[in-house]
Amino acid sequence: MQRLVVSSTSAIRTTLERRLEALSAPQEQLTLLPLGSEDEWSDLDGQEQIDILLQTHLKAFKNERAEVRLLLEAAARCEQIGPDAKAEALLEWLYRLQSEEGDLELKTLIFTEFVPTQKMLLQFLNERGFSVVCLNGSMDMDERKLAQETFAKDARILISTQAGGEGLNLQFCHVVINYDIPWNPMRLEQRIGRVDRIGQTHVVRAVNFVFENSVEHRVQEVLEKKLAIIFAEFGIDKTGDVLDSAQAGTMFDGMYVEAILNPEKVEDSVEKVVARLHEQALDARTTASVLGTTEDLEPGEAQRLLNHPLPHWVELMTVSYLRAHGGQAERKNQSWNLIWPDGEIYENVVFTSKEAEKYPATRHLTLEEPKVRGLAMRLPRFVLGQPVPIISIPNLPQEVQGVWSLWRIAISTMDWDRRRIMPLFLADNGIIYMPTARHVWDQLLVTSTHVRSILNTEISQATFKKLKEAAEEHGKPIYEALVQEHQSRITRESEKSNYAFASRRRTIERIGLPQVRNYRLNILLQEELKYQEQLDQMSHTYPEMVPLLVIRVEGGCYE
């Protein structure tokens, strides 16, 4: 509610109307808690969270219906007085930026958390002569494509929600206004990243709207100072990874709620969260140090990377995967139309920054895209014929002689995956020793090793074949457990959806007018069929068993 209030009067009024409608529904359909896990919740934008809360019909608080009516009356009075002061401030900033940039047709990307605020701003700006187009998470791919093309050509302003802005490539625009501030500061960086891309020729400008002397304002002041210290210590990349996690999102939500309830303890609330973030960043740096350090990138090396064929490899990998796994990849003029195995469609896709710059209405697909990154993560780290090093580990007994390997066993859909790591030790006597495999793994993490030589190619290939057979046998129980976990997830999703649709159906069936009742029942049926189709797609899994590392291990001392 706090986020709605600081967004717009329209947002709070619309939500209160929907809440009052839910409170007027029969009591048997009210529930105590919303659906979804904390991790899933933190990944949603404000509008998606509101939609879930209202759809699950939370149980009413004492006297809530009367309180909601009073708030609705107050919201209606505010709207009758005139436009929101915040909207008027936005108008002033648009004129100011237009003047400072010396561009009467300056394109501006505006982010809001809520669709009602988006609709209010659309009308407000249209009435004042601005050409505006909107994007939000409820729009399909065709609508999103049309909105992006319109913004690239004719419209001066694009108003987007967080969910609507995912996957955008808008380097032809360099001004971002955050009309609503997300509680997780990493979301701000992601928004700015929509325009701050390769090919951007202007200095990107970002303007953040926040009510002066509000709790949010005070929290942001303190938070920015504290985070600056962490950024300086760990760097943007490491800290960004921590801030972008679902756990961090939950922490920020809790911090703001605590600050709103206890405004006199804002600094204490922020300090606790920043301390936890510092610990996580420290853990991330410690973990990364096991894999080695990185050095600053020289200008020459940066230029070489810009000319690197990686985008072409990403294109070849994506297209080949789709054609081999039931999807489709069709070349159309200068771009691709992609259909993923789960049915999701990506239209007008390009893979190189030069193409994205030349054709601004296209969608630039890189390893930042979760689905593409998922494909890259599934590439095998070890393949048949690759050299196998012979390693000496001092702390192992002399009799420990054999081939040690590490395997990733996974089951995944296009939006969900679970994986397990399995060590395997094949002794020279042909026996698999699982406890020894785990012990060797521990020693590799804490002990200095010595590479003595490389195993003969023919022996390496024969050994790998034996390892693969053993991995399939010993990994089968792990795989079956993952399948059972996935099936349980599908069952839970099905049960929750059945309950939700049944509750909505009972409500609609109480409508007196047959035409209205039948119309709404038909819409509900279409929604149910569409969701069932999504569940069917979720049930299609992609099993995976990938070797990550293969070495020959010899215990005892070495010189």
- Whether 106 is covered by a domain: the verdict is no
Say what the pLDDT of residue 269 is: 85
Structure tokens at 232: 């300086």
State which amino acid sits at residue 245. S
Residues 322 and 275 in one domain: no
Helical spans, DSSP H, in 105-157: 115-126, 141-153
b vs e for 404-422, b when ≥16 Cβ sit within 10 Å of the residue's Cβ?
bbbbbbbbbbbeebeeeeb
181 assigned to some structural domain: no
| In a shared domain, residues 492 and 344 | no
122 inside domain: no
Backbone angles phi, psi at 330, to 5 degrees: -120, 125
Q: Which helix (H) or strand (E) holds 367?
A: none
**Secondary structure of residue 336 in the 3-state scheme:** strand
- Do 432 and 527 fall into the same domain? yes
Contact 233, 202 (CB under 8 A): no
Structure tokens at 354: 């030069």
CB 329 within 8 A of CB 341: no
Question: What pLDDT does residue 32 have?
Answer: 37
DSSP character at residue 177: E
Listed residues 64, 81, 98: the one ending a domain: 81
Dig out the tokens for 105 from the structure.
């047709």
**Cα distance between residue 324 and residue 327, in whole Å:** 7
Rg over CA atoms, the chain: 28
Render the burial of 300-315: b for 16+ CB within 10 Å, e for the rest.
Answer: eeeeeeeeeeebeebb
* Closest alpha carbon to 551 in 386, 431, 435, 397: 386
Q: How remote is the C-alpha of 105 from its chain's centroid?
A: 33
Same-domain pairing of 456 and 509? yes
pLDDT by residue, tens only, the chain of 559 residues: 667 767 777 777 877 777 777 666 655 444 433 444 444 445 555 666 656 555 554 455 556 777 777 777 777 777 777 778 889 999 999 999 999 988 888 999 999 988 889 999 999 999 989 999 999 888 887 888 888 889 988 899 999 987 656 666 788 899 999 998 888 887 888 788 888 776 678 888 999 998 888 878 888 888 888 888 877 777 766 677 777 666 777 788 888 888 888 888 888 888 888 888 888 877 766 655 444 444 555 666 555 555 556 788 888 889 888 887 788 999 988 899 999 887 889 999 999 888 888 888 889 988 888 888 878 776 666 666 677 888 888 877 887 889 999 988 888 765 567 788 899 999 888 888 888 888 888 888 777 777 888 888 788 888 888 888 899 888 888 888 888 888 888 888 888 888 888 888 888 888 777 887 888 888 889 988 988 887 787 777 767 788 888 899 887 655 4
pTM of the model: 0.49
Spatial distance between the Cα atoms of 188 and 162, rounded to a whole number of angstroms: 10
Q: Which two tokens stand for residue 359?
A: 């054709």
Q: Which two tokens stand for residue 99?
A: 């003047």
Instruction: Give the number of other CB atoms < 10 A from CB of residue 252.
Output: 23
Query: Same domain for 482 and 525?
Result: yes
| Residue in the block written with tokens 């007027």 | 24
* Cα–Cα distance, 399 to 218 (Å, whole number): 65
Q: Is residue 112 part of a domain?
A: no
Q: Is residue 476 assigned to a domain?
A: yes
First-last CA distance in the chain:
68
Biggest CA–CA distance in the chain, Å, is 90
Question: Which has the closest alpha carbon to 475: 430, 437, 427?
Answer: 437
> Does residue 363 share a domain with residue 220?
no
Based on the fold, state whether residues 480 and 528 are members of the same structural domain.
yes
Total of domains in the chain: 4
In a domain, 90, yes or no: no
In a domain, 169, yes or no: no
Alpha carbon separation from 16 to 23, 61, 77, 85, 114 (Å, rounded): 10, 14, 14, 21, 13
Provide the domain limits for residue 281: 215-286
- Say whether both 340 and 230 belong to one domain: no
Q: Is residue 144 part of a domain?
A: no
Main-chain phi, psi angles of 241, to 5 degrees = -60, -40
pLDDT computed for residue 159 by the predictor: 93
Q: Say whether both 237 and 274 belong to one domain.
A: yes
Does residue 509 sit in the same domain as residue 484?
A: yes
